[in-house]
Amino acid sequence: MRQRNRREQHAESRESNDRWMITYADLITLLLIFFVIMFAMSSLDVQKYKIVTGSLSETFRSGNPVLEGGDGILESQQETENSGSANSQKQGSNSAIVAGEGSQDNGTGSKVAGTANAGETAQPPSSRELAFKEQEAKLASLMGVITKYVEDNNLGDQIFVADKPQGIAITLSDRFLFDAGKAELKAPAFPALRQLSGLFRGIGASISIEGHTDNTPVSVGSRYNDNWELSGARALSILRFFLDNERLDPDTFQYAGYADTRPAADNTTLLGKQKNRRVELIVLRQLQDEE
């Protein structure tokens, strides 16, 4: 009896000593599973992942969950693949049809363009687009002619030409046009204004005549109350020359006086004041509305 008890105690002690192997085996199994999962994640099929996520999003959006009898992920994936396959086959057949229509044998073994090229022909520009292109060409020509006229007549310090976003700006110094504090045109300005009137005729654009002054108040006894009246009167004098002397179309003109509110230079210096006393003729980048 005593010997039997000893055997049972020895078996129990041996069994208790081997229990660590169970824990060790579980740990090894978990590690194996962990590395298998990591490997599976590292080699994820991006296309299938997109299909699965798209199917989930569609399921949640439509309110038709799997638990309520809706389509499962695998079914949605299969339908997506089938529809993609069908679309690919349809596109392939359409491409073959277009290719067949787009090329024809001319009898010499070479292919000639057919209906496919005809469908790719760009739409012709509208009449308004053509008018804008034509006007841009005229503005570029206008700027070139005026620049050459200024250079040939040594008027670089009295007439300035610039291409601005709103149009071609022709700036005339007040020394070239008027006496101090007056709005009557001087005779030396007539040739240049006649040259401009010939260029403006038929330009097909609106022309804005804008008078500007410096910030010096008008002298006492002047016929003008302030610089607003003086700048407006100077712009009007040039407009009258174009309309009365040159018989240009009045519908293409507009004029305004801005006094000293839009200075081109600093009014604290004599040179700046001189630059600010000017009249600007702007050939605007816009087409007149056709009635």
Q: pLDDT for 192-204, tens place per residue?
A: 899 899 888 877 7
Write down the pLDDT at residue 188.
87
Question: If you average pLDDT over residues 102-114, what whole number do you get?
Answer: 46
Listed as own residue / partner, the contacts of 192-196 with beta carbons closer than 8 Å and 24 or more positions apart are 192/149, 192/153, 192/155, 192/159, 193/238, 193/241, 193/242, 193/246, 194/246, 195/146, 195/149, 196/146, 196/170, 196/281
On whether the CB atoms of residues 237 and 183 are closer than 8 A, the answer is yes
For every residue of 112-174, DSSP letters joined together read EE-HHHHHTPPPPPPHHHHHHHHHHHHHHHHHHHHHHHHHHTT-TTTEEEEEETTEEEEEEEH
Report pLDDT digits (tens) over 123-164.
888 877 777 787 788 788 888 888 888 888 888 888 899 988
Write down the pLDDT at residue 115.
47
pLDDT top residue among 209 and 98? 209
Cα separation, 272 vs 255, in Å, equals 24
Cα separation, 287 vs 280, in Å, equals 20
Within 10 angstroms of residue 173's Cβ, the number of other Cβ atoms is: 18
Question: Domain coordinates of the chain in residue numbers?
Answer: 127-287
Write down the pLDDT at residue 81.
53
Write down the pLDDT at residue 79.
53
Write down the pLDDT at residue 236.
96
Cα separation, 274 vs 214, in Å, equals 8
Question: If you average pLDDT over residues 273-285, what whole number do you get?
Answer: 92
**pLDDT at residue 254 greater than cutoff 90:** yes
Within 10 angstroms of residue 145's Cβ, the number of other Cβ atoms is: 15
What 3-state DSSP class applies to 206?
Answer: strand
Report pLDDT digits (tens) over 71-105.
444 444 555 555 555 555 545 444 444 444 444 44
Cα separation, 162 vs 280, in Å, equals 11
Write down the pLDDT at residue 142.
81
Radius of gyration of the chain (CA): 44
Please name every residue paired with 112 in a beta bridge, in sequence order, or none if there are none.
104
Report pLDDT digits (tens) over 15-63.
666 777 888 888 888 888 888 777 776 665 666 667 766 766 666 565 5
Write down the pLDDT at residue 16.
63
Do strands 167-173 and 159-164 pair parallel, antiparallel, or not at all (unpaired)?
antiparallel
Within 10 angstroms of residue 94's Cβ, the number of other Cβ atoms is: 10
Share of the chain above pLDDT 90, in %: 31
Cα separation, 118 vs 196, in Å, equals 47
Cα separation, 52 vs 234, in Å, equals 77
Residue 109 phi, psi dihedral angles, 5° rounding:
95, -10
Share of the chain above pLDDT 70, in %: 65
- Direct distance between the N- and C-terminal alpha carbons of the chain, in angstroms, rounded to an integer: 129
CATH no. for 127-287: 3.30.1330.60
Report pLDDT digits (tens) over 210-244.
999 999 999 888 899 999 999 999 999 999 999 99
Residues ≥6 apart with Cβ < 8 Å to 100:
none
Residue whose token pair is 């229990």: 19
